[in-house]
Amino acid sequence: MSVAFSELIEAFEFISSDPVFGNSARVNRKTGTVHWHTDWDSELFEEPEDIDDDEKYIDLPTPRDLDLGRPLAMRFAAERLDDHYDEIAAIFSRKGAWRRFKDFLFRVGALDRWYAYESEAKEKALRAWCEENGIDVEG
């Protein structure tokens, strides 16, 4: 089985977009086909009847599964913005942290560096997940 990495990233972004909609994606272990699902509109994406067969399909991980949320932001702070680490830790101690974090990064001129760091971390983590689960990746 082989799946295009661009397709995995696209599905990963979809399931990461908003937990309110119950977005998910499953990968067919044999064919590499990615099947998308949203609770918002169950008829939006066509799914095979056996989509719940865990032997045949595997759930694409969420950012939380791959430690790509707050832990990643704190690693970025420690590695790239050490002088602001305590400020960033304080940002993540309250609700609305992601908006405030990105506002802060914009103010200190580090938003582009964050996006590059985050993108690299996503790719690395998702490729590692594929390798651990026997999913051959193209691209």
Task: Answer yes or no: is 129 within a domain.
Answer: no
Expressed in angstroms, the distance from the first to the final Cα of the chain is: 14
- pLDDT reading at 40 higher than 70: yes
* Exposed e or buried b per residue across 1-17, where buried means at least 16 C-beta atoms within 10 angstroms of its C-beta: eebeeebbeebbebbbe
In which region does residue 10 sit, left (phi positive, over 0), alpha (psi from -120 to 50) or beta (all else)? alpha
Task: Answer yes or no: is 130 within a domain.
Answer: no
pLDDT of the residue at 52: 86
Domain that holds residue 81: 70-119
**7 and 44 share a domain?**
yes
**82 and 44 share a domain?**
no
Lowest mean pLDDT of 17-21, 78-82, 113-117, name the range.
Answer: 17-21
pLDDT of the residue at 118: 96
**76 and 31 share a domain?**
no
Total structural domains in the chain? 2
Task: Answer yes or no: is 82 within a domain.
Answer: yes
Task: Answer yes or no: is 138 within a domain.
Answer: no
